[in-house]
Structure 1
Amino acid sequence: MLQILTEPLGFEFMRNAIAIGLLIGVLCPVVGSYLIVQRMALFGDVIAHCVLPGLSISFFFGIDILIGAFGAGILGASLIAWIRSQSRVKADAAMALTFSSFFALGVTLITVLKNKLDLDSFLFGDILGVTGADIQRTLIISLIILLVVRLTYKEMLFYTFDKTGAQAIGLPINLIYFAFMSAITLTIIVSMKAVGVILVISMLVGPALSAYLLVKELHHMMILGAVIGVFSSVTGIYLSYYHNLPSGPAIVLVSSTLFILSLLFSPSQGILTRSRNLFLRPFRSPSN
């Protein structure tokens, strides 16, 4: 058993993969918890696809992809907010339009600019190809986001559940929205290398959803979601090593499996446990 755990650690690419897997395993569920409780889970997917034009432009001009991707992601989020504020268009329609438009623009720019952006790696990730620089950047961004989440937890909690009340007491809701969009965009950017754009939404909401079924408090949801995210990442990487599976999909499948188990067996909300409780309830004595 010990050999199974230690053998992959003899390879540098596996150590790098596990390191970045641990970081995104913590970061994604913490940020994703806010998406879930605000009923904005698909918003993460929209932003994930909005970064493609920024990536293409960054590659063409030879600048850090973080700059271009972040700018494109924030532009997409701002466009959605602007459409909603200036028209009767609902959030889902605004997101659908922005999603498709930015993704089409990104694919077009890749063709027109003829850059060497690896579209497959962008879509599906390449966690086994991460470098020390990738890990360092992910670590710095993760620490910054987690620190901001910790310092602004009460304000974000109020904003999440009562935007009108937050505005009434003087909280800068526009600044909070921008900071929240920035955190989502940065989380997606640093996670793309590991699982890709198509699968990053699963890491954002999968572990957090599992925790949502098991606990009731938001901070407990974040902590448990981070534990589930770390377990999913490490287990997926080991499965990919021993069974020759693509690493990103393996991580996501582990996360999805844990969600199914939570959905079935959650003590308070599980489908099977709820059915069992309903079945046993008539047979309990009044004294119980």
Structure 2
Amino acid sequence: MSIIDFLLEPLQYEFMVRAIVTTVIAAIVCAVLSCWLVLIGWSLMGDAVSHAVLPGVVLAYVVGAPFALGALVFGFLAVALIGLIRGTTRVKEDAAIGIVFTTLFALGLVLISVTPSQTDLNHIIFGNILGVSTIELIQIAVLAAVSFAVLFVKRRDLTLYAFDPIHAFAIGLSPRFLGALLLGVLALTAVVALQVVGVILVVAMLIIPGATAYLLTDRFGRMLVIAPALSAAASVVGIYISYWIDAASGGLVVVVQGAVFALVYLFSPRQGLLGRMLARRRTRVAA
């Protein structure tokens, strides 16, 4: 089989084309957001929101509503509950996150267990990228466009908030508002990625691209280019591999992203493990 056949054969199937387009859309918007999440240290928050949307997805399936609507409602609910607990009690943020996301995730599992005939556990938990319909693709594209537009318009304010919230407050910006805005975009983006990799692996798409780019550059502007480029490429490779070896598409997308991070971790010129070892060796020789 030639390389041309290898690349073109999957594209003969409409469901594969929809899967690739959907995955690339989700990968790009998740990667852009992940740059801010990595800088602020909100990895756990991304995990919380991605798990907390499960009951919303189940309820949407039960009543026949679009899954994105139920997930979006519970995503914002999770953000609001975390903020409420953090702001009105002595409980710290990490504990509030743990309480909210585990409780809502457990609620989702309970709802699944009592409505087994109307929900598909595998599709909700692990994603169903190969089963994306045209309507779902449009929904995902619209939600991704909204998330991307907010990040683009407020990119300077959000970047200042990520690096120095005190300075942001000093020049008249509201760190509380910017934090809430970023959390809202996080909830929206988690819904976008949900169909691709499912509830369990959403956090990987929200964290790995930004962490990978962070090892490759020390300039935030470059991170915003490197992260989505690597994420989109890894997603396409993952989808192709899943086609040829008949394996879980969402899982392979994340595996490829993780493999890219591992390569960068080892071979990045400045931050890579081997690069640092060589730098230390040169220092010893020079001394």
| TM-score w.r.t. length of structure 1 | 0.93
Given candidates 77, 83, 98, the residue that maps to 2:100 is 98
Does residue 123 (structure 1) correspond to residue 143 (structure 2)? The answer is no
Given candidates 17, 35, 50, the residue that maps to 1:33 is 35
Deviation at 1:212, TM superposition (A): 0.6
Given candidates 10, 13, 19, the residue that maps to 2:12 is 10
Does residue 253 (structure 1) correspond to residue 261 (structure 2)? The answer is no
The answer to whether the 8 Å contact 2:196/2:250 transfers is yes
Deviation at 1:72, TM superposition (A): 0.9
Corresponding residue for residue 212 of structure 2: 210
Task: Give the Cα separation in 2 of the matches to 1:111 and 1:273.
Answer: 50
Question: Structure 2: 5+ residue runs without aligned partners?
Answer: none
Which piece of structure 1 moves more, 264-273 or 171-180?
Answer: 171-180
Deviation at 1:25, TM superposition (A): 1.7
Given candidates 224, 228, 231, the residue that maps to 1:229 is 231
Question: Structure 1: 5+ residue runs without aligned partners?
Answer: none
The answer to whether the 8 Å contact 1:27/1:146 transfers is yes
Corresponding residue for residue 276 of structure 1: 278
Task: Give the Cα separation in 2 of the matches to 1:35 and 1:190.
Answer: 16
The answer to whether the 8 Å contact 2:54/2:199 transfers is no
> Which residue type is aligned with residue 232 of structure 2?
V
Task: Give the Cα separation in 2 of the matches to 1:205 and 1:22.
Answer: 16
Deviations 1:158-183 (A, max 9, x none): 11122233233322333322321221
Task: Give the Cα separation in 2 of the matches to 1:127 and 1:147.
Answer: 24
Deviation at 1:109, TM superposition (A): 2.7
Deviation at 1:108, TM superposition (A): 2.1
The answer to whether the 8 Å contact 2:217/2:223 transfers is yes
The answer to whether the 8 Å contact 2:57/2:124 transfers is no
> Which residue type is aligned with residue 74 of structure 1?
F
Corresponding residue for residue 73 of structure 1: 75
Q: CA, structure 1 residues 204+275, in 2 after alignment: closer, same or farther (shift >3 Å)?
A: same
Deviation at 1:124, TM superposition (A): 0.8
Tell me the C-alpha RMSD between the 2 structures: 1.7
Task: Give the Cα separation in 2 of the matches to 1:111 and 1:239.
Answer: 33
Deviations 1:264-286 (A, max 9, x none): 1111111111101111224349x
Task: Give the Cα separation in 2 of the matches to 1:62 and 1:130.
Answer: 16
Deviations 1:52-73 (A, max 9, x none): 1222222333333222211111
The answer to whether the 8 Å contact 1:22/1:230 transfers is yes
Task: Give the Cα separation in 1 of the matches to 2:67 and 2:15.
Answer: 22
| TM-score w.r.t. length of structure 2 | 0.94
The answer to whether the 8 Å contact 2:150/2:185 transfers is no
Q: CA, structure 1 residues 109+278, in 2 after alignment: closer, same or farther (shift >3 Å)?
A: same
Task: Give the Cα separation in 1 of the matches to 2:196 and 2:90.
Answer: 38
Deviation at 1:112, TM superposition (A): 4.2
Deviations 1:15-52 (A, max 9, x none): 11111111112111101111110111121111011111
Deviation at 1:96, TM superposition (A): 1.1
The answer to whether the 8 Å contact 1:47/1:77 transfers is yes
Corresponding residue for residue 169 of structure 1: 171
Q: Secondary structure at the match of 1:133?
A: helix
Corresponding residue for residue 182 of structure 1: 184
Deviations 1:176-209 (A, max 9, x none): 2232122111111121111111111111111211
